[in-house]
Amino acid sequence: MGEGPEKKKNPAIIRTMKIPNIGRLCVLLCVLMTLTALTAAQAQTGSGTSYVFSVRLDGGQASMRLLTDFDVLRPCEEAPLLRLGAREVRVIVQPEELGAFRALGLPHHLVERGRPFQELRRNKPLGPDARYYTPKEIEAELLALEKKYPTLAKRVDLSLLTKTGATHEGRHLFALKISDKVTKDEGEPTALLAAQHHARELNAPYMVLQAAKRVLAGYASDPLLQKTVDAYELWFVPCVNPDGVNYVWTRDRWWRKNRRRNPGGSYGVDLNRNYPFHWGKCGSTSGRESSSTYRGPSAASEPETKTMMALARMKAFDKYLDFHSYGHEVLTSYGPCQQRAYAGKRVLQVEAFYRTLIRGKMRFGTRSPSASGEAPEWHWASQGSLAYLVEVGTSFQPAFTATVAEEKRVWPGVRAFLGLRPSLAGRVQSLKGKRSLAASIDPAQALQTTQGERSKSAQGSGRYHLWLPAGAWTVPVQASGHQPLLAKIKAPTLGLTKTLDLTLIPILPSVSLSLPNPYVMGTTAQLALKAGDPGKGYWIPMALGKAPGMEVGPRHLPINPDGLFLLSAKPNLSPNYVGHMGTLDGKGEARAKLKLPRTPALLGFKLYFIGMTFEKGYPFDLKAWSSPMEMVLR
């Protein structure tokens, strides 16, 4: 109750300041209000900002623990350094990690507390350059590009488009769509460039924004870009993590994760550990909430992850390029443990071929990502998109001039990436009416994959893409309501493209035909057709043989198109064969009658009958048929 030294001290101060009574009340109120405001701010923003310590490693167990358990400043996707030895590192420690950090007992000193990036912006030239982007500035920049290039560029609210809703703090994710006739959905192939899954990587979104600007400005003069914009829908998402980036600007420039409030009181999920492919299984992915690489409570738990995944499922991107900082590297498509399992397999040859091409143009190195749950791994494994993570720069927030120079270095690789075409592309369609199908394509035989990797065709357009090595491959294709197709595909040399549409046959009603066999000439034979397809047309032709049959579009009809077959195409063939053509009754059934006069010359002769049904939209309107039925004349 305000006893002890405090009680004695405060009146003394107030006395010294000679504040009148009414003034004292004001001061008290002010102090109370400030305290309330601070508490509210802390509740909203977490318990405080990062500590940046300089730590002396000694090569022992504690040094190892620091490198594996703490946010040691290094390229954002690098695996924990196993190379120990005496040296100095910088480590970012969250307030709730302080105890664990101090318990390591490593010699350290405080370099700085995490400060709002905007403060550093104001303090130019002491702080980093002012020209990095806040989430609002990125949104405005995308809108400005739409205004400048109305026929080519359009800003899209992804949270609305995908109906996945807002982030934890109520923000939306935004994209710039670039295409000729940008306001139309032409069902063209698609590519996605994204950045800033990690908030503090302020130089990464500049690569995406600038690529969009270069594409728009180069459309009139660069034939490769013109061809790409005409043929493609290009999607640019400069900032996947607006809540985290806002926090970087307003509270703590070292913040990496999003702003989920974790049950234990800490904040944030590492969005680039939250994707479902092998989520939490491989590498150093952390299940500790306060960790800077916390993978989240479940796969795809985060709104930002959900939005990006929903966009990928809608658009079935051919290609995906994901910018991070820092490191001058294009990463392999698989985490280290998956990659080991694939040593020598064709999938790694394909992945390496395109990666080498891109990083060669950037003059970048390469390495494995550190963990599963990363975005490019998911795009590659679940959508079949050629997907890479690019680490730009040599720090998260270098002077802006360095980032401008970096973008110039990166652009030739991005341009080459935009020019790449899949080994095979085309549409997955239904045999009925050539309707587009959302299909799942299994490249396992061609790529020697074993982890359930699939390529998907786009909802709406049915457009698919496959990145395959040269050769003849069998590729299973599945779509709902259709028979699985084992497509025989001949893939061209790596780097070349080939167009091939894949046609799937709808699952058809089973059709059965029954008839007497043998048939005694002179009697009446009842032929009964059961198709379970009321109101559809039917036909029961006869023929002298069932092999070799005939081809009807991509289907094989097992009855010969001989003279007898053609003759039975006549509706009023003969009073001896009636009811062989017409409309199925309410049960989807039909009956025909055959009465051949007794003819000794025909004894032992064989006829074949087949029951067919018809529906518009199929080749020759032919929908389904029964097995061919034999009839021996007696």
Q: Which is nearer to Zn ion, 219 or 378 (CB)?
A: 378
315 sits near Zn ion (criterion: CB under 5 A):
no
Q: In the bound complex, what is the minimum distance in angstroms from residue 77's beta carbon to Zn ion?
A: 6
Least distance CB 303 / Zn ion (angstroms):
19
Separation of alpha carbons 343 and 391, rounded Å: 24
444: DSSP letter: H
Of 366 and 445, which has the nearer Cβ to Zn ion?
A: 366
- Which one of the spans 91-99, 318-326, 466-474, 622-630 is the region binding Zn ion (CB under 5 A)? 318-326
For Zn ion, which stretch binds (CB under 5 A), given 75-83, 161-169, 239-247, 398-406?
75-83
Asked if 245 is part of the footprint of Zn ion (rule: CB under 5 A), the reply reads: no
Q: Return d(Cα 387, Cα 617) in angstroms, integer.
A: 38
Please give the angle made by the CA atoms of 314, 315 and 319, to the nearest 5 degrees.
Answer: 140
Q: Which helix (H) or strand (E) holds 503?
A: strand 502-504
The per-residue DSSP string of 66-90 comes to: HHHHSEESS-TTPPPP---SSEEEE
* Using rule CB under 5 A, residue 358 touches Zn ion: no
Tracing tokens 């069998």 back to the chain, one arrives at 474
Among positions 2-41, residues that touch Zn ion (CB under 5 A) are none
Query: Does 194 help bind Zn ion (rule: CB under 5 A)?
Result: no
Q: What's the min distance (Å) between Cβ of 302 and Zn ion?
A: 15
361 lines the binding site for Zn ion (CB under 5 A): no
Tell me the closest approach of the beta carbon of residue 198 to Zn ion, in angstroms: 3
Nearer to Zn ion, 155 or 324 (CB): 324
**What region does 198 belong to: left with phi over 0, alpha with psi -120 to 50, or beta?**
beta
Instruction: Determine whether 391 is an active site residue.
Output: yes
Residue 274 identity? N
Binding to Zn ion by residue 257, rule CB under 5 A?
Answer: no
Contact by Cβ (8 Å): 313, 380 = no
Q: Which is nearer to Zn ion, 198 or 456 (CB)?
A: 198
Compute the distance between CA of residue 628 and CA of residue 607 in angstroms, rounded to an integer: 10
The answer to whether residue 629 forms part of the interface with Zn ion (CB under 5 A) is: no
Where on the phi/psi map is residue 18: left (φ > 0), alpha (ψ -120 to 50), or beta? left
- CA 552 to CA 568: how far, in whole Å? 18
**CB nearer to Zn ion: pick between 172 and 324:** 324
Can you read off the two tokens belonging to residue 262? 């974790």
Closer residue to Zn ion, CB minimum distance, 241 or 455:
241
Single out the residue of 108, 200, 253, 324 in contact with Zn ion (rule: CB under 5 A).
324
Considering CB under 5 A, how many residues would be counted as binding Zn ion?
3
Strand partners of residue 499 = 425
Query: Among 197-205, 343-351, 466-474, 508-516, which window interacts with Zn ion (CB under 5 A)?
Result: 197-205
Binds Zn ion (CB under 5 A): choice among 198, 379, 456, 463: 198
Instruction: For residue 375, state whether it binds Zn ion (rule: CB under 5 A).
Output: no
Interaction between residue 432 and Zn ion (CB under 5 A): no
Residue 195 beta carbon to Zn ion: minimum distance, rounded to whole angstroms? 9
In order, the DSSP letters of 86-141 are SEEEEEEE-GGGHHHHHHT---EEEEEE---HHHHHHTTTSSS-TTS--HHHHHHH
**Per annotation, catalytic residue among 391, 406, 407, 453:** 391
For residues 272 and 449, which CB has a smaller minimum distance to Zn ion in the complex? Answer: 272
Strands, E assignment, 305-423:
319-325, 329-331, 365-367, 386-392
- Give the binding range for Zn ion (CB under 5 A) out of 62-70, 190-198, 467-475, 614-622: 190-198
Amino acid identity of residue 24, one-letter, is R
- Closest approach, Cβ 115 to Zn ion, in A, equals 21
Cα–Cα distance measured from residue 251 to residue 46, given in angstroms and rounded to the nearest whole number: 10
End-to-end CA distance of the chain, in Å? 115
When asked if residue 76 is in the footprint of Zn ion (CB under 5 A), the reply is yes
CB of 396 to Zn ion, least distance (A): 9
Segment interacting with Zn ion (CB under 5 A) among 38-46, 316-324, 580-588, 604-612: 316-324
- Partnered with residue 71 across adjacent β-strands are 92
Within 144-173, which residues bind Zn ion (CB under 5 A)?
none
202 vs 508 by CB, closer to Zn ion? 202
Q: Which stretch binds Zn ion (CB under 5 A): 94-102, 192-200, 569-577, 617-625?
A: 192-200
User: H-helix or E-strand containing 298?
Assistant: none
Name the site residues for Zn ion (rule: CB under 5 A): 76, 198, 324
Annotated catalytic residues are 391
